[in-house]
Amino acid sequence: MPRPLKILNVVGARPNLVKMAPLLRAMKRHKEIETFLVHTGQHYDERLSDVFFRQLEMQLPDANLGVGSGSHAEQTAEIMKRVEPLLLRYRPDLVVVVGDVNSTIAVSLTAAKLGIRIAHVEAGLRSFDRSMPEEINRMLTDALADYMFVTEECAIENLLREGRPRERIYFVGNVMIDALHQSLPLSQSSKIGDELGLVNGGGWQRFAMLTLHRPSNVDSVETLHGLLEGIVAVAEEIPVIFPVHPRTKEKLDSSKVAAHPRLQLIPPLGYLEFLSLMSHATMVLTDSGGIQEETTALGVPCLTLRNNTERPVTISHGTNQLVGTDPAKIMRAAQDVLENGRKPGRLPPLWDGKAAERIVETILTITEM
């Protein structure tokens, strides 16, 4: 009997955990695969990491690099230093990285220099804005990857334009949506709506959700003030629930913007609690990429507080629209949702909850070549 295919899987930040959970489940259904999970520790707060392992029913990491926070250069370098001995010791046949965080590029760089094959899940997404650190991570990871698994068809065009070989690109769907399919029923038993006073007489009242974490939005006092001005205007019309990312909390403390009584700031949420709120929200305002995808799958209107998106299919097919950071534009878009309700969207191709299995079956086929 041939030895199992040794796959080292990497997570580092909260979105990675959501994407990796379906992949690990799919891999464990195949006896010919031996899995090894590495957590770089890029997100180390219990509310940003540990709770996700529990709620997604993921195996605990086989190794935690404990890198913690730091500048982009410090974090990337530290991950490379700590993962290299592990790669040399374990000697995987394949390294699987997801998304576009510092952990993704750091492990890819290290594996590539050791001659270890790399599979990038969520490849080919482009905002065409190099001021976004994630854009640099995406482009470099795809340049190093041996196999690229894409979530939407425009990603194929992006990769071909950059000279990547077509035979190494696989259109498989979206593992983020796999996780949503698996967790949505369980999320509906969450009591978070009751705890936040959003459920009256057994029914949900209208409310909006807000997330903010991108440096371009929260590091500039002027931009952050403008965004909050728009959000406060929305809160005049509808309660806004704002789970505050630790990075954003630091900036809010010095922003000198008075909290509106209907703008409810709360700590970060677990995946199930967040999913419960998002599925019942009247609208979601966000600068997150993954939330643009999840709201598309849920049919919930999404107002993206950015001037670009690396996920254009959420606009062409889904419920997403770019509103930028101008307060007046934010309010106009929110008012349109409140007055006219949800615009019809449709699921993009292959967003059917089966992406992880397609990826694993493809890996088993291509690694035999």
> Cα 161 from chain centroid?
24
15: helix, strand or coil: helix
Could you say which of 30, 72, 181, 213 is catalytic?
213
100: helix, strand or coil: coil
Q: Is 213 a catalytic residue?
A: yes
147: helix, strand or coil: strand
Integer Cα distance of 106 and 242 in angstroms: 31
Integer Cα distance of 270 and 52 in angstroms: 6
Integer Cα distance of 213 and 305 in angstroms: 11
Integer Cα distance of 305 and 205 in angstroms: 24
Cα–Cα nearest to 193, from 204, 185, 183: 204
Integer Cα distance of 213 and 205 in angstroms: 26
Inter-residue contact 271 to 47 (CB < 8 Å): no
Other CB atoms within 10 A of residue 167 CB? 8
The one-letter amino acid at 298: L
Q: For residues 101, 104, 110 and 112, what is the CA-based torsion angle, rounded to 10 degrees? A: -130
175: helix, strand or coil: helix
Which pair of structure tokens corresponds to residue 59?
């195996």
Q: Tell me the CB-side half-sphere exposure of residue 327, using CA atoms within 13 A.
A: 14
Integer Cα distance of 250 and 256 in angstroms: 12
Integer Cα distance of 361 and 365 in angstroms: 6
Inter-residue contact 303 to 330 (CB < 8 Å): yes
- Catalytic residue IDs: 213
